[in-house]
Homo-oligomer: A and B are copies of this chain.
């Protein structure tokens, strides 16, 4: 096959050593910014690197180092479908990454409990871990734990819900304000010219992702669909039973509800309620996250659209980004941008 077709093969450390007239060890010291090299020698080597257009072969370097990327995911231990899909993707990737010198550890901490998350982060051993991905709330204790990890050389990314006030290296997830805007635009168009009220189902207003979606939603409804009236959020705390209890009360209190925005992980309770109350089949409903349940609801016409973010993409992106930070390599921001997916029953992926 194509061994080395081109005459001028890519330069290696040996070429640098030869051109700069130094030894391999010195080249290596300069490449890895290790101390103990005279400034003048450093310059000589750097010039050679520049002249030759050298790019380091990361695979060879990792082989020589015996390097293993040790990454940790910390997720809330709720059992909703979205979290489960993240877990499945992590598990799937764990196997694939064996080929790739990367080890993933999956931790769970109590949901909606910042202190539990902080404790878990504080227990991480900097000698053994290269990067951490967390999905949790934005509180002072969490911020502190992030700072502590960063200070000990560990890269940190926030997953799904951002923690912008912290020192996290990167956020992996959608722009939740834009997601809320998108939901509003779809719902507004789907209900048509009819006036009426919109019910918003959320998890917890403490969760930044939920809060942001609501903000974006309200913004577009009031701007583009002033004939619609958005009610106060129903906080279901991602608990199906709670949602199923709260829904009938809310719907009874407002007979003119014509649409629902299920902005968090309350789809379970919502669908159960809809199944039991077919009289609400006229409601236009936009939900979040494509899961087995929401697929079914889309297919049956209970949901009109689902706003989603691809769990596989989230997890793979987190791994790529953590490895890149760990190697101080650049990241491809276009590739790592998580898109706000819109699914109708027509464009649902098969699987």
Contacts and interface: CB of A to CB of B under 8 A. Distances in A.
Interface of A: 1-5, 10, 55-60, 62-63, 65-70, 92, 96, 98-101, 103, 127-130, 153, 178-179, 181-182, 184-186, 189-190, 192-193, 216, 220, 307, 310, 312, 316, 326, 332-335, 337, 339-347, 349-351
B130 A346 contact: no
B316 A337 contact: no
29 contacts: A1-B67, A1-B70, A1-B130, A1-B153, A2-B67, A2-B69, A2-B103, A2-B129, A2-B130, A3-B67, A5-B68, A55-B99, A57-B101, A59-B62, A59-B63, A59-B101, A96-B332, A179-B347, A181-B346, A182-B347, A185-B345, A189-B190, A307-B347, A312-B334, A337-B349, A339-B347, A339-B349, A340-B347, A342-B344
Contacts of A92: 332, 334
B341 A99 contact: no
Contact of A335 (B130, B153, B312): B312
Nearest to A219: B346
A277 B70 CA distance: 59
- Residue among A129, A179, A220, A342 with the highest chain B CB neighbour number at 10 A: A342
B332 A310 contact: no
A83 to B, nearest CB: 18
